[in-house]
Structure 1
Amino acid sequence: MLGHHCALGSLWRWGACLLAWALVGTGTVRAEDGPDSTWTLRLCANAALGQPADNNGAAYDLMRRVQGLWPGLKLQVTPLPWARCLQDAEQGRFDGVLSASWTAERAAQLVYPMAQGEVDDSKRLFRLGYVLLRPKGGTAAWDGEAFTGTGARAGQALGAERGYSIVAFARARGATVEDRFPHSGTLLEALKLGRIAGALLAQEHAATLLTDPEWAKAYEISGPILQSKAYHVPVSQALWKAEPARVARLWATIDKARQTPGFKQHYSLALSGGQRKDLMP
């Protein structure tokens, strides 16, 4: 596996990890090479998903399968704090974003796959939700309809990383949420120190944390999945104007790779801590 390792600590100290990692295709099915088949695509990704090298998360695994179907596609992925990634992509510093749900605010600056005036979820990477991760036996709770056990006093609010779309959803259902955390490291540190009552995390991120025995011993997921959404690879307006045919091919290849049996199994195992094979992307 190709890549340069970069400690998360230096990510936050220097503002960005200047890591460009060429994902190596692992699929066995090959698309026919055409005259326009070679293409370098520069994406940023939420650093909470981990470093690209040797990353078996759903997003990175699926994009390796996309490369298996499009051998000439070279992906360069830079992990950044989420708000910084979105901002840089919107300003054209990257060609697009790896794994972003649709919001009207994002769609004003980034281009998503569309069909009949609506975002085309058939071209998604997968569906993911958020979860409430809390200390075991904690009072903050989500029952599928409303939040209870949160408040404005110190240590009673929920925490979320800045830029997460789940914040408005949670507040509308009764939660007090602090979204001042610039990256997942500061959010999780606040949870460990008891400065927040729970953390609103992407489903995959929480599943990864709970594979660590120390996290699994002390923390738990409260209630059902929150706000399941389709996640995409939106692109910059500049790239869409310059390369619409290649972008359309990218989205179509993502759709094809998502439906392979190998990815379906990987997705289900990754999102269930290795316990289930029936979750569909």
Structure 2
Amino acid sequence: MMSRSVGFGCGLFILASRVFACEISLAYNSDPSPPYYVGVGDISPDHPGAGVELAQLAAAKIGCTVTLKRLPTRRVIAETGMGKYDGAFMFSYNVERTAMFAYPMQGEIPDKSRRIATLSYSLFRLKGSSANWNGETFSGISGPIGVNMGWSIGKDIQALKVPVIESYNTQENFIQLRLGRIAAYATQDIVGDAIIQREDMNDVERLPIPISSKDYFIIFNKTYYQKNKERVEQFWTAVGSLRESTLQVLIKKYSND
């Protein structure tokens, strides 16, 4: 009887090993970006967000599991780049990052069909402020524009000859804005809108014209990619497929976060 139990247990272990033949470690931002990831801090909650669930489903589709770690953006980039984690999300294409990270590519350009999402950046200002963006140029800017530390939008704004100042996270930038230490704050629509609603910031508004819209990807450090190229390519393809078929269902699940 005991030998049968042992044999049955071994069979289950072998079956589980075949079903989930690999483990992928992914790091992502400790700030919330609903509905893609929710909650604050270094713990990944049971209700993690639509983007996190999409990554988990994509991994399962290719026979893998995902382990998650939340960190500030710069640590996500630094620690994933040095190999502590296999990959990271969500990041727009950045030529400088390609020295450390692999993106899903189609020839010489990122493959947007395998993106996890497309997000817009907008300018947030105090109501009554003269700070403005008309889709091409800034005007009425009386000081630096705040951005999150390590976010690519900062370089986009600097390219337009407007000074920026980095703060640690979204919360700190809104504090700086309300204290009058920055002229405006540039961040992702979904991030800024969520904080304004959560904190009941009736004195802050988002301008209607986005500064830019960017495709976002799950990226992998180059060492991991080179050793597991087929697996990563399959994972990216699964992300693209599930984004089309499943993401909107997941987003509805998080509509109140």
TM-score by length of 1: 0.74
Residues 109-160 of structure 1: CA deviation (Å, up to 9, x unaligned): 1011112222111110011121111122222111111111223xxxx32101
* Higher relative contact order structure (alpha carbons within 8 Å, sequence separation ≥ 6): 2
**Residue 157 of structure 2 aligns to a residue in which SS?**
helix
Equivalent AA in structure 1 for residue 151 of structure 2: Y
Q: For residues 269 and 53 of structure 1, do their structure 2 counterparts lie closer, same or farther at Cα, with a shift above 3 Å needed? A: closer
Find 2:216's aligned residue among 222, 231, 234: 231
2:125: which partner in 1?
A: 134
Considering only aligned residues, what root-mean-square deviation do their CA atoms show, in Å? Answer: 2.5
Q: How does 1:164-175 map to 2 (within 5 A)?
A: 164-175=151-162
Segments of structure 2 that go 5 or more residues without pairing to the other structure are: 1-15, 33-38
Q: How does 1:195-274 map to 2 (within 5 A)?
A: 195-212=181-198, 214-215=200-201, 217-260=202-245, 262-264=246-248, 266-267=250-251
Residues 5-58 of structure 1: CA deviation (Å, up to 9, x unaligned): xxxxxxxxxxxxxxxxxxxxxxxxxxxx99474321111112223443145644
Please state if 1:84 is matched with 2:75: yes
Contact 1:100-1:232 at 8 Å conserved across structures: yes
Q: For residues 104 and 222 of structure 1, do their structure 2 counterparts lie closer, same or farther at Cα, with a shift above 3 Å needed? A: same
Equivalent AA in structure 2 for residue 207 of structure 1: D
Please state if 1:157 is matched with 2:149: no
For the residues of structure 2 that align with 1:58 and 1:87, how far apart are their CA atoms? 25
Q: For residues 235 and 100 of structure 1, do their structure 2 counterparts lie closer, same or farther at Cα, with a shift above 3 Å needed? A: same
1:29: which partner in 2?
A: none
2:25: which partner in 1?
A: 42
1:122: which partner in 2?
A: 113
Moved over 6 A (4+): none
Equivalent AA in structure 1 for residue 54 of structure 2: L
1:64: how far off? Answer: 4.2
TM-score by length of 2: 0.80
% same residue: 24
Equivalent AA in structure 2 for residue 249 of structure 1: Q
Q: For residues 87 and 38 of structure 1, do their structure 2 counterparts lie closer, same or farther at Cα, with a shift above 3 Å needed? A: same
1:184: how far off? Answer: 3.0
Contact 2:56-2:65 at 8 Å conserved across structures: no
1:268: how far off? Answer: 8.1
Farther-moved stretch of structure 1 (37-46 vs 228-237):
37-46
The number of aligned residues is 232
Residues 228-254 of structure 1: CA deviation (Å, up to 9, x unaligned): 111001101111122111111110110
Residues 193-244 of structure 1: CA deviation (Å, up to 9, x unaligned): 22112211122211322332612x2211013122111100110111112211
Please state if 1:63 is matched with 2:55: yes
**Residue 214 of structure 2 aligns to a residue in which SS?**
strand
Equivalent AA in structure 2 for residue 125 of structure 1: I
Farther-moved stretch of structure 1 (107-116 vs 74-83):
74-83
Equivalent AA in structure 1 for residue 180 of structure 2: G
1:18: which partner in 2?
A: none
Relative to total residues, which structure has the larger helix share, 1 or 2? 2
**Residue 210 of structure 2 aligns to a residue in which SS?**
strand
For the residues of structure 2 that align with 1:113 and 1:212, how far apart are their CA atoms? 35
For the residues of structure 2 that align with 1:43 and 1:129, how far apart are their CA atoms? 23
1:267: how far off? Answer: 4.5
Q: For residues 144 and 269 of structure 1, do their structure 2 counterparts lie closer, same or farther at Cα, with a shift above 3 Å needed? A: farther
**Residue 228 of structure 1 aligns to a residue in which SS?**
strand
